Amino acid sequence: MLLWSAYSLVGGYVLFFSPALMIQEVVVRGESVIPLAEYQNMAEVEMAKSFVGILERRNLFLAPTERITQQIFDRYPKLASVVVRRHFPD
């Protein structure tokens, strides 16, 4: 039981705090009349918040992709489509 608890703690740390699973950059592709930096800024602002006051939303598993998508559509309703994806490290 103790060994399982230790593995769980280490696994949880790796999943939620490891720098390897933190989003390093926001890439915007496509053509738009809206400056690409504005999309990046919207994503960065949302990921700067924390989840439960402890866990960073910059983590690949906690990144609020749906919220970022909705914020972009709310701000720019004339956009045809927006896709926010996670890309796991190689």
Taking only the tens place, the pLDDT of each residue in 59-79 is 888 888 889 889 888 888 888
Give pTM, 2 decimals: 0.70
Residue 72: other Cβ atoms inside 10 A:
18
How is 45-77 classified by DSSP, letter by letter? HHHTSEETTTEETTBTTT--HHHHHHHHHHH-T
| pLDDT tens-digit series, residues 18-34 | 777 788 777 777 767 77
Predicted confidence at residue 34, as pLDDT, reads 78
Average per-residue pLDDT for the chain: 81
Q: Does the structure show a pLDDT above 80 at 8?
A: yes
